[in-house]
Amino acid sequence: MEPPSASPRAGRGPWQELLLSLLTFWNPLTTAQVTVESVPPNAAEGKDVLLRVHNLPGDTASLAWFRGETVAPVHQIVLYVVDTRVITPGPAYSGREIIYPSGSLLFQNITLNDTGSYILQIINRKFETALVRGQLRVFPELHKPSITSNNSSPVENADSVVLMCEAQTQSTSCLWSVNSKSLPDSPRLELSLDNRTLTVHGVTRNDTGPYECETRNPVSADHSDPFTLNVLYSSYHQGANLSLSCRTASNPPAQYSWLINGRPQPSTQELFIPNITTTVKAITVSGKCIPGASAVSTVGVSVGRPGVCSSL
């Protein structure tokens, strides 16, 4: 027994449209299921994609493609009459669609706005109608992301660092790596809900990196340039003793003078500072070897937080 036909008639009601959408085909007992396949399933913006029709019956009289969820005339892309091979563009035709005798529809230079549902209306020689749905999924080609930081020179065990993966396209997934490996399972590493932000709590000298973030969607992926933290650390802490020495090869022997925060210190080759406090910021040493020749060096010291000594 054949299912009821759906001949065109004036004043078709919503329930009849629903009936048409539920029809699999006019003779499911002898005709294979008609299906529409997107090739490729996920299309890259600017490429071509095909809505391929499978198992089109031999008694097909006409084919029409519609954009969206209904077969309203305003949504018609193209109509193809099989016997005459006449192709008639519809109101929704953009100039980029090509219909084939098989019913398949090619989209050239596809855009993000082409994403969505499509309906193929098939009418046979008995004026029986079937509707088959297809789907297009279009994604942008991704560009290289970049990593930014709220603090690229944190102090060990004192600072936390927030790394942000900056991407031009928001609807992407983000994947982080450190030292070319996946992030380790650590309570000091915290990812935001969208994985765009990585927070390193209580940074240590082992957290220098390099870090990379990768953005991806179903059609493309790209990763950032490596980002390295300059973690400042020292073995000197507030209350510790600090010994500095200045040596140079000279004849006659050099004379040395020291300045701590701009204040002169005893002239000696070695300087000993007991019980470092937060007031020690910079130490300058100058050495005079021969008349008219001198050398000046400055060492910066940060204490209170983990200390940092560096040659300036």
Residue found by looking up tokens 């929704």 in the block:
92
Considering only 31-35, 241-245, 250-254, 294-298, which range has the smallest mean pLDDT?
294-298
User: Looking at 132-136, 225-229, 289-293, 295-299, which range is the least confident one?
Assistant: 289-293
Whole-number pLDDT of residue 296: 45
Whether 271 contacts 244, CB under 8 Å:
yes
Domain co-membership, 130 together with 32: yes
- The whole-chain average pLDDT of the chain stands at 78
Per-residue pLDDT, averaged over 208-233, amounts to 91
Q: Is residue 123 part of a domain?
A: yes
Q: What is the pLDDT of residues 241-277, one digit of tens each?
A: 777 777 777 777 777 777 777 788 778 878 777 777 6
23 and 133 belong to one structural domain: yes
Q: Give the pLDDT of residue 242.
A: 75
Same domain, 154 and 172: yes
- List the structure tokens of 202: 């209580």
Q: Are residues 66 and 179 in the same domain?
A: no
CB of 169 within 8 A of CB of 150? no
> What pLDDT is recorded for position 62?
93
Distance (Å, whole) CA 184 – CA 187:
9
With respect to residue 236, please indicate whether it lies within any of the assigned structural domains. Answer: no
Task: State the pLDDT at residue 265.
Answer: 79
**What per-residue confidence (pLDDT) applies to 310?**
32
> Which positions ≥6 away from 199 have C-beta within 8 Å?
160, 161, 162, 163, 189, 190, 191, 192
Range of the domain at 81: 14-139
In a domain, 228, yes or no: no
91 versus 295: the higher-pLDDT residue is 91
Closest alpha carbon to 142 in 115, 165, 108, 117: 165
Q: Are residues 196 and 162 part of one domain?
A: yes
The total number of structural domains that make up the chain: 3
211 and 262 share one domain: no
Predicted confidence at residue 131, as pLDDT, reads 92
Residues 129, 150 within the same domain: no
Examine residue 116 and state whether it is found in any structural domain, yes or no: yes
Residue 252, preceding peptide bond in cis (omega within 30° of 0): yes
**Lowest-confidence region among 96-110, 189-203, 215-229, 238-252:** 238-252
Can you tell me the mean pLDDT for 24-28?
41
Higher pLDDT, 311 or 197: 197
Please give the residue that has the higher pLDDT: either 233 or 221: 221
Tally of CB atoms within 10 A around 156: 19
Say if residue 167 is in the same domain as residue 264. no
Tokens 């082409």 found at: 114
Q: Which of 139, 155, 178 corresponds to the end of one domain?
A: 139
Average pLDDT over residues 162-187: 88
* Residues 119 and 51 occupy one common structural domain: yes
Helix (H) or strand (E) holding 52: strand 49-54
Between 253 and 50, name the one with better pLDDT: 50
pLDDT tens column, 119-164: 999 999 888 889 999 999 999 988 899 999 998 888 888 889 999 9
Give domain status of residue 179, yes or no.
yes
Same domain for 95 and 168, yes or no, is no
Examine residue 172 and state whether it is found in any structural domain, yes or no: yes
**Among candidate residues 115, 139, 163, the one where a domain is terminated:** 139
Is the model more confident about 281 or about 206?
206
151 and 135 within one domain: no
Q: CATH no. for residue 282?
A: 2.60.40
Its pTM stands at 0.59
CATH number of the domain that residue 118 is part of = 2.60.40.10
The one-letter amino acid code at 214 reads E
Contact call for residues 104 and 51 (beta carbons, < 8 A): yes
Structural domain ending residue among the three candidates 172, 195, 223: 223
